[in-house]
Amino acid sequence: MEALTLFHQNFAVAESLVQLYQLFHGLDRCDLSKDLHLAICGHWRVPSNTIIQHASNDHVSVLARSTTRIPESLTIDGGLDFLLRQAVVVACTCIESFFWDALREHVLTIIKARRSGADEMLRNITLKLGDYISIQQYEDPDLRLRQIILNNFERGTLYDTGSIDRITQIMTVKDFWVEVQKICGEDAAHLKRLVSDLISRRNQIAHRADRPVDGEEADGHGLRPINLPWTNMRVQAAKTVVTGGAEVVQAAIRRLDADIHAAHEQEEARRLARQAAVMENRG
């Protein structure tokens, strides 16, 4: 499933942002011991009196010459929170891309199987005369039809989890969250709430730069507080929903493919029956 492959490639960025936060969180500036200072100067092949900046935590030490300062954001309280906010934005964008990409990937199968019974969004697509003619003249009519269909609707933004329900309904999935629960074993309501939190926070970051509204708590930078446990739980929930959702969508598409195959066999059987009737009448 191409949409799932793209999701994993893009989602790795969100996971990397969380890992960077874990790696650098809690850095404190401190002086190097004389022996370590001399050893580093020797390693860098610089004079022994070279000024070296040093910051460290339980996971990593950062060393820099005075000409390249260690960024303040690495050592001040809340300075790395932007990594968590970016992880929220990336994770949410990955969810959004996956469901629209999955729909684009399978839209022709949906139309072939459901025809006039397809979702209203697909039924309302109109073709221009030039589009119709190009379908007839194209070497692969199905490919041309798919291109025309995809050009007639644009990928939207996930404003809430209802958008996920809407897209998966178009792909003939009746109760997406319940189906995901069956696959991953996580409570559907809990997963939906976590993803809803993620989408809501992404919207706040995108539209208000994560500034609090009246009455909300603010951190030392005047932004809504964010922390690693809150972010990590919701980012991983996004991954669970998409990996489980991919199986749900694939199962739905397999059923549609089976319907198309059955309809083709029925049509072929009718054709052969008509042909046999014609031959019998001629006899």
According to the model, what pLDDT value does residue 267 have?
83
The answer, yes or no, to whether residue 28 has pLDDT greater than 70, is: yes
Q: With bands split at pLDDT 50, 70 and 90, how would you rate the model's confidence at 268?
A: confident
Please give the pLDDT value at position 178.
Answer: 96
Predicted local confidence at residue 264, as pLDDT: 84
pLDDT of residue 104: 83
Mean pLDDT across the chain, nearest whole number? 87
pLDDT of 201 strictly over 60: yes
Q: How confident is the model at residue 247 (pLDDT cuts 50, 70, 90)?
A: very high
The residues, any chain, with a CB within 8 Å of residue 122's CB and separated by 6 or more, are 107, 110, 111, 114, 149, 170
Q: What is the pLDDT of residue 137?
A: 64
**Per-residue pLDDT, 31:** 92
Answer for the pair 173, 179: CB distance below 8 angstroms, yes or no: yes
The predicted-structure confidence for 112-155, as pLDDT tens digits, reads as follows 887 656 666 666 655 565 665 665 666 676 666 666 666 665 55
pLDDT at position 124, please? 60
> What are the structure tokens assigned to 275, written together?
């042909």
The residue with greater pLDDT, 187 or 279, is: 187
Strand partners, 56: 28, 61
Write the pLDDT tens digit of every residue in 66-99: 888 899 989 999 999 999 999 999 999 999 999 9
**Single-letter code of the amino acid located at 28:** D
Distance CA 230, CA 173 (A): 30
Cα distances (Å, whole numbers) of residue 44 to 33, 65, 124: 16, 10, 67
